[in-house]
Structure 1
Amino acid sequence: MKQFNNKVVVVTGAASGMGREYALEFARLGALVAMTDVNEKVLAETHSMVQKITDKYTCCEVMNIASQEDVLAFAEKVKNKLGNAHVIINNAGIGGGGAPVWAQDMDQFQLTMNVNFFSVVSMTKAFLPQLLSNQEGAVVNVSSVFGLIGTPGTSDYCASKFAVRGFSESLMVELADTPISVHLVHPGGIKTNIAKDSKNGAEFEEKYLKTSPLTAVRIVIDGIKTGKQRMVFGHQSSLLRFLTLLPLKLRNWTLNREMSDLRDPEHYELLSAMGEK
């Protein structure tokens, strides 16, 4: 897809960070933007910013992205208000529980998978008929550099982003003979608020989250235009990509050493106590 003027672009997680920048940038490019997020107040701010850029129709919906019923209703609303979607940006996500496996309960694993992975499946299935009806379209699924490599204290998050990767790579093959392109995005170190709720979120942000969301969004849009199927970018993404080439034992040692200062001592006291039982 080479241009987006008068095309319908759907963005999830549009209230802030990369999601907001997707909505604003596509509005600048002349698209009809449909945006959704669970945060009503901040989504309204994004919608207001979009309306200052364009006088074209928009669609704004507060929605629980993890609800399949809500996703199907949103897809129908977009179609009725704006027409069939041309591009879907599956951007919504949460940072996960921020704890090692033994310190994290199953409810957190389920929540992270529902928001980060199953919502991508639901959105894709809901909107794919619209893209096919247009005989033109792009599905953009946002994984993470943590969808390339497992890191400590992020098992639920990594699992969800690895799942997005596997789903997207399969979808690429399945849609290879159609006019629909599939793009898998692995951002690294983007300066968003995704880590704000974790115990060491501020420390993690200061150390790793450096790349501006707008820079990331423009890389993705260029990738859609050129048909690039995998995009890996952002602060320290090259280093993490290099680590995937190392023997697993050496990679694990390197990651353990690099991220040891972000450990919560209480989690490892719990691990010791478990071993004493």
Structure 2
Amino acid sequence: MQTQNKVIVVTGGGSGIGRALTLRLVNAGAHVAAIDIHENTLQETQGLAGPHKGHISLHVVNVTERETVNALPEKVIAAHGVVDGLINCAGIIQPFVRIKDLEFDAIKRVMDVNLYGQIHMIKAFLPHLLARPEAHIVNISSMGGFFPVPGQTMYGASKAAVKLLTEGLYAEMIGTNVHVTVVFPGAIATNIAQNSGVVIAGLGNEQAHKFSATTAAVAAETIINGMVRNKFQVFIGQDARMMDLLYRLNPRWATQFMFSKMKALLPD
């Protein structure tokens, strides 16, 4: 689906990939309903849009709250007239610990934001998207959604669920006007750990960015290109593409390889 003159809803629009998507979309002639739990970061995103800031409406919403999300389409349509697309980008990681040490509150929070947040948004907006001549849903999964990362097991489980949710939705939308795409980012240079309230012991910001091979701007460009081309799957970063191949060829070896790279970050 072409994005020019379209109205796109972007969750997580206050930072990271969501912010980069919002800015790139309005620069390309789209209108964006930017969703985030933090009003101040949404306002920062709008300020960065410069002459295009009038094309962005701001909506302070917690995507885990179903009733609040159910009221969102009416507000977006009031601001823009219609809605043509949804990009589910909001997400958090878990504390970097083994599952035996992960508190149930943290497990629930990860599942609520990463999985149920996307479900809430899809259920709320899909009827409106089906009424458009052409529409698109993009769900952000993760490299961790098809490949196990030690210390991020529940995060990976939530993103694996997003993968199957999206692919199942794609199958259900065959023959309709709604296109569906699932995205698998690898390591991206964003502040997701800070936004998730996660501290990785012994790893400062400068060191953390060594793991970040792709910028948020490049990720946003890749996602939008995939949307325009109506792609089924989009992989972001050489790391995501490489691990997809390795995991298909030899999943046990690939899992052991990842553990060898990540074990230094795991508490004993």
Q: Identity of paired residues, percent? A: 33
| Aligned equivalent of 2:178, options 177, 180, 183 | 180
CA shift, 1:257, in A, is 1.2
Distance 2:47 2:235 in 1: 31
Report if the CA contact (8 A) 1:86-1:136 is conserved: yes
Aligned match of 1:239: 242
**Which stretch of structure 1 is more off in the superposition, 7-16 or 242-251?**
242-251
Matched, 1:259 2:258: no
Greater Rg, structure 1 or structure 2?
A: 1
3-state DSSP class of the match of 2:90?
A: coil
Matched, 1:221 2:224: yes
Q: CA RMSD in A?
A: 1.6
Report if the CA contact (8 A) 1:38-1:63 is conserved: yes
Q: Which runs of 5+ in 2 are unaligned?
A: none
Distance 1:208 1:219 in 2: 19
Report if the CA contact (8 A) 2:6-2:84 is conserved: yes
Deviations 1:210-245 (A, max 9, x none): 211111111111111111110012152233112312
3-state DSSP class of the match of 1:166?
A: helix
CA shift, 1:112, in A, is 0.2
3-state DSSP class of the match of 2:193?
A: coil
Deviations 1:138-195 (A, max 9, x none): 0000001111111100011001100100100100000011011001000111100112
Distance 2:55 2:20 in 1: 18
**Which stretch of structure 1 is more off in the superposition, 93-102 or 175-184?**
93-102
CA shift, 1:55, in A, is 6.1
Distance 1:58 1:226 in 2: 24
Distance 1:235 1:62 in 2: 34
- Read off the aligned partner of 1:198 and give its amino acid letter: V
Counting matched residue pairs gives 263
Aligned match of 2:119: 121
- Read off the aligned partner of 2:204 and give its amino acid letter: A
Q: Which has the higher contact order (CA 8 A, sep 6+)?
A: 2
Matches within 5 A, 1:27-176: 27-50=26-49, 52-54=50-52, 56-176=54-174
Distance 2:259 2:213 in 1: 21
Distance 1:99 1:41 in 2: 30
CA shift, 1:47, in A, is 1.7
CA shift, 1:87, in A, is 1.0
Distance 2:200 2:4 in 1: 43
- Read off the aligned partner of 1:134 and give its amino acid letter: R
Q: Cα gap change, 1:100/1:135 in structure 2, threshold over 3 Å: closer, same or farther? A: same
TM-score normalised over the length of structure 1: 0.90
Report if the CA contact (8 A) 2:46-2:53 is conserved: no
Report if the CA contact (8 A) 2:96-2:265 is conserved: no
- Read off the aligned partner of 1:202 and give its amino acid letter: G
- Read off the aligned partner of 1:237 and give its amino acid letter: A
Distance 1:166 1:152 in 2: 21
Report if the CA contact (8 A) 2:30-2:55 is conserved: no
CA shift, 1:57, in A, is 4.2
3-state DSSP class of the match of 1:109?
A: helix
Report if the CA contact (8 A) 1:195-1:202 is conserved: no
Aligned match of 1:230: 233
- Read off the aligned partner of 1:93 and give its amino acid letter: G
3-state DSSP class of the match of 2:64?
A: coil
Distance 2:53 2:41 in 1: 21
Q: Which runs of 5+ in 1 are unaligned?
A: 266-277
